[in-house]
Amino acid sequence: MAIQPYQEDNEASSGPLDTAPAKRLRWATQRVAGSQGGTKRQSILRRLSHKKRSSDDSAKRESNGTDLESVPEGSEASTEQAGAGRRVFFNMPLPEDARDEEGHPIAQFVRNKIRTAKYTPISFIPKNLWFQFHNIANIYFLFIIILSIFPIFGASNPGLSAVPLIVIVTITAIKDAIEDWRRTVLDNELNNAPAHRLVDWENVNTAEDQISLWRKFKKANTRAITFVWHLWKNRKESKAEKRNSQKDRALDEGGDTRRPSMYSQRMSVISMATEEPGAMEMTPVHSPMPASAMEGSKEMDLGDHIRKSLENDALKPGDVHQVVEVAKDPTDPNAPIPKRFYGNIINPNKPTGKARFKKDCWKNVQVGDFVRLYNEESIPADIVVLSTSDPDGACYVETKNLDGETNLKVRQALHCGQKVKRARDCERAEFILESEPPHANLYSYSGAVRWKQYGSKNSDVEAADMAEPVSINNMLLRGCSIRNTEWVLGIVVFTGEETKIMLNSGITPTKRAQISKDLNWNVIYNFIILFFMCLISAVVQGTTWGKGDESLDFFEFGSYGGTPGLNGFITFWAAIILFQNLVPISLYITLEIIRTAQAFFIYSDTFMYYAPVDYPCTPKSWNISDDLGQIEYIFSDKTGTLTQNVMEFKKVTINGVPYGEAYTEALAGMQKRQGIDTDAEGAKARIQIARAKVKMLEDLRKLHDNPYLLDENVTFVAPDYVSDLTGASGPEQKAANEYFMLALALCHTVITERTPGDPPKLEFKAQSPDEAALVATARDCGFTVLGRSNDGIIVNVLGDERQYTVLNILEFNSSRKRMSAIVRMPNGKIVLFCKGADSIIYSRLKKGEQQGLRKTTADHLEMFAREGLRTLCIAQRELDEEEYQIWNKQHDIAAAAIQNREEKLEEVSDAIERDLTLLGGTAIEDRLQDGVPDAIQLLAEAGIKLWVLTGDKVETAINIGFSCNLLGNDMDLIVLNVQDENLASAEAELDKNLA
């Protein structure tokens, strides 16, 4: 490692990080009761060298079965077993190896009821006393009380000595009980939250729940307390309603015209539309009419309309044969594009019963249940999606309670389960879900659904074994919420403590403030002083008593000790009682009172009140609020914490030509370092960009009348790009610009959401805001993604509507740093589009070609990075039919694997993502949040040291540091460039230069 002053061209590189988790180990935030401060003073590098290394057992284990011998399209699936995983059976009898001697399932799954409270009514007293007596002062005062019990030590009233300690323990216990009671209330609300699950059918994966006598006793008490609480609450609310109704009559005498809530409309319609057994509980499209208009026959008409629409979607005999079996002729552009057959888990020969969806509590949801979720509802367990209200099987999920990200994620239903929409379909769905065991990695899951594919009803055709892989993109995790989706139907895989959110939360820790830990040491120091004081008193007393013919004899009325040694021993313990105030017990009472009052003041602080959600700052642990005043270091990431996580497409380089005008915050930081007036420069640049935007919009509308082009949505300002798109720079650059935007419109996993209006609006929902920004820019430039069909994407290319078949998606992850889409073009050619980090794409370009374009594009990307923009490279490769078919078979085998699926998919993907042809690069801006520079400056003035972690290049990070006030011109800028992975030498270099 070398340490040197900052130079303009220095860059830091980082290699890929292997994040594959070991099974059953915590992957994300781990909360552990208690804390150890042994590593507090160690440097970061030393802690890295002592990091716990977990071994990946899954890499050493071999599969018990064999791989798939053919692809899932109508062929036999493998019999690979999940090792230490689980098998969940649906409408199938359990095999012998899954049953015990009495026929009950061997596998025992945990309940979905969770408890985050630390105490129970029985364990509260002993457990709370155990935690309280971790304070050495409490042990000391208890010892003094025990000494006071013995009259030989001269204590006058032992009961009076115990009062202070009893008061301290009682006050602390009451505070802890209130905190834990709030946790218990939240647990009960969550466990009793409503969920719609399938009832009146047999879930073979769970045995009959045997309720113990203790659980019956608890249930009876809980119901009694809940009944009394609701009775008192309802009376109070009814009185308030009477007072409000009297006021309402004076204001509104014309009847109730209030609009009903969406939930009440939905539930009223569902209750009518699902009266018959097996009817589907589906969320209808809400009517704009008020509740008063939905009366009598109109309500029944709406229910009949829903039932008719459901019958039209019913499974028809012979659906399995509705597949286009025509091969695509590359020479005939009008030939039909072959559709891929994914199969169907419904057995048309199986009779239906009386199963129906019923509202139940979360705590009653079990592994193997069918669950239906509605819009805005939270997810009660880890669920695999079978079908959704969206025709493409997509649903939107909000994961902010899980990972803190506010952008919606897209989850996809299994292809084989998209026909399962009603209760009767659930009864006829016969399949096995093979799953890996539960682990805490939020971004990884491997499983497979296996079933027998039947022909039409009463058909004599032999059923074929089929399989479909299940990944994290098919799973809804507990703690998330459904958004922008009417309904979702899924199956429960993990419940309770085995869900990913609970595996990451761990046990509720008992937190202690730093001042409490420091007071323990002060008590120890005071006790040492007290020990020597009492020892001196005992020695003096014993020595004085041993002397004869002293005047002491006239004042001594007797002694408990018969000898000088025994008298000194008694004096030692008597002195401890006399000098006990050396450790002030009143200090602890004062601290508990102050902390309680401080928690109230924090809750009442109007400056920490968040008006959009009507929620104040709520302290969860009252006894650590004073730690806020002792913060010395703050470690923060950049994206989404300092920045808005709202991506805006700013610049692009295509075929060696740069496009785009922007004045970024990092560019302002660069000018700030040079002493330039950034306010004046920024105002000048914004005027120039506004003029260029007006010209670009005029040219775009002349080129193509794009109904989805909205002025306020355009972030890419480049009039010269539109000029080249019309052929001003020649046909070669025109074709390159068109092909580049087409690549952006095809290489993604974005879902299109259309909002009707004049003009209509298209919104793109993506797992990454970068993807949405790329597709939105392609839309603004005339390459609009209109939506998805069963196998493809419909794109409007400058007014010409085309359909592209997406054959495979190789998804992005942190280790690959790239994603690819294999697309069959309308002319029959197969093209792989790949986008990712510039270092990754450049390493996969075809050797010996495009040398000039590579250098020019790299220079442009470096220039974009200096301006604080996030850069990506776009490349492509044409595949011949035979090569693709061979590769696709290997890909399907890897995708259906249970063990080491990610490693196998990475190996297969790596084989096809080679010999690429560079198309260009993009640059996206993620602006700082409002108030971030001022907040960082205040933290610096307070003496708090802020560390920011970013994956940007060195030049980009420095410029952003200046723009957000993390760095200043009065600082000495030092760049540490680590050339090797030897932590010892790196730490030695740091100690040498920074000590």
Distances (CA, A) of 810 to 421, 499, 816, 905: 29, 27, 10, 9
Domains by residue range for the chain, with CATH = 124-189+511-588 (no CATH), 263-282+301-505 (2.70.150.10), 643-926 (3.40.1110.10)
Return the SS3 of 432. strand
β 475-476/464-471 pair status = unpaired
**Torsions phi, psi of 979, nearest 5?**
-95, -20
Average pLDDT rounded to a whole number, residues 243-256: 46
Give 723-741 pLDDT, tens digit per residue.
Answer: 999 888 889 999 999 999 9
| pLDDT > 90 in the chain, percent | 23
Give 675-720 pLDDT, tens digit per residue.
Answer: 788 888 888 888 999 999 999 999 898 888 888 888 888 999 999 9
Q: Which of 767, 789, 766, 786 shows the shortest CA–CA distance to 778? A: 786
Query: Average pLDDT of the chain?
Result: 76
379 pLDDT tier (thresholds 50, 70, 90): very high
Residue corresponding to tokens 């009492």: 534
Is pLDDT at 458 greater than 70 in this prediction?
A: no
Q: Which of 956, 866, 947, 877 shows the shortest CA–CA distance to 913? A: 877
Q: Measured between alpha carbons, how far is 710 from 707 in angstroms, rounded to an integer?
A: 8
Q: Which two tokens stand for residue 955?
A: 């030049």
Model pLDDT, residue 277:
38
Q: Measured between alpha carbons, how far is 27 from 35 in angstroms, rounded to an integer?
A: 19
Residues contacting 40, CB < 8 A, separation 6+: none
Model pLDDT, residue 480:
92
Model pLDDT, residue 854:
92
Q: Measured between alpha carbons, how far is 346 from 449 in angstroms, rounded to an integer?
A: 13
Contact 118, 127 (CB under 8 A): yes
Q: Measured between alpha carbons, how far is 57 from 732 in angstroms, rounded to an integer?
A: 53
831 pLDDT tier (thresholds 50, 70, 90): very high
DSSP, residue by residue, 716-763: ---HHHHHHHTTTT-HHHHHHHHHHHHHHHHSS--EEEEE-SSS-EEE
273 pLDDT tier (thresholds 50, 70, 90): very low
Is pLDDT at 414 greater than 70 in this prediction?
A: yes
Is 724 one of the annotated active-site residues of the chain? no
Q: Is 951 annotated as a binding residue?
A: yes
Q: Measured between alpha carbons, how far is 901 from 654 in angstroms, rounded to an integer?
A: 36
Average pLDDT rounded to a whole number, residues 935-944: 89
Q: Measured between alpha carbons, how far is 746 from 601 in angstroms, rounded to an integer?
A: 54
Distances (CA, A) of 402 to 29, 442, 785: 11, 8, 30
For residue 629, what is the DSSP state?
G
Is pLDDT at 820 greater than 70 in this prediction?
A: yes
For residue 624, the one-letter residue type is I
Q: Which of 790, 794, 76, 793 shows the shortest CA–CA distance to 418? A: 790
Average pLDDT rounded to a whole number, residues 121-132: 88
**Torsions phi, psi of 137, nearest 5?**
-60, -40
Average pLDDT rounded to a whole number, residues 446-458: 82
DSSP, residue by residue, 875-902: EEEEE-HHHHHHHHHHHHHHHT-STTHH
Q: Measured between alpha carbons, how far is 773 from 924 in angstroms, rounded to an integer?
A: 8
Q: Measured between alpha carbons, how far is 879 from 821 in angstroms, rounded to an integer?
A: 12
Model pLDDT, residue 877:
93
Give 585-643 pLDDT, tens digit per residue.
Answer: 777 778 878 888 888 888 888 888 888 778 888 887 777 777 788 888 999 888 878 88
pTM (predicted TM-score):
0.66
For residue 615, the one-letter residue type is Y
Q: Is 637 annotated as a binding residue?
A: yes
Q: Measured between alpha carbons, how far is 975 from 320 in angstroms, rounded to an integer?
A: 64
| pLDDT > 70 in the chain, percent | 76
**Torsions phi, psi of 628, nearest 5?**
-60, -30
- Of residues 812 and 47, the one with the higher pLDDT is 812
Model pLDDT, residue 261:
36
Q: Is 870 annotated as a binding residue?
A: yes
Q: Is 757 annotated as a binding residue?
A: no
Q: Is 639 annotated as a binding residue?
A: yes
Model pLDDT, residue 462:
75
Q: Is 771 annotated as a binding residue?
A: yes
Q: Point out which residues pair with 834 in neighbouring strands.
A: 820, 875
Residue corresponding to tokens 């891929």: 340
CA 107 to chain centre: 29
Q: Which of 637, 705, 859, 934 is catalytic?
A: 637
Is pLDDT at 63 greater than 50 in this prediction?
A: no
For residue 183, the one-letter residue type is R
Q: Is 638 annotated as a binding residue?
A: yes
Which range (4-13, 396-405, 489-498, 902-911) has the least confidence?
4-13
DSSP, residue by residue, 764-801: EE-SSHHHHHHHHHHHHTTEEEEEE-SSEEEEEETTEE
Average pLDDT rounded to a whole number, residues 164-180: 86
β 86-90/431-435 pair status = antiparallel
Q: Is 247 annotated as a binding residue?
A: no
* Four-CA torsion 471, 473, 476, 482, nearest 10 degrees: -170
* Top mean-pLDDT range of 145-159, 241-255, 329-343, 933-947: 933-947
Give 462-515 pLDDT, tens digit per residue.
Answer: 778 888 889 898 999 998 999 888 999 999 999 999 999 998 887 766 667 778
Is pLDDT at 670 greater than 90 in this prediction?
A: no
367 pLDDT tier (thresholds 50, 70, 90): very high
* Top mean-pLDDT range of 308-317, 646-655, 756-765: 646-655
Residues contacting 422, CB < 8 A, separation 6+: 278, 279, 280, 310
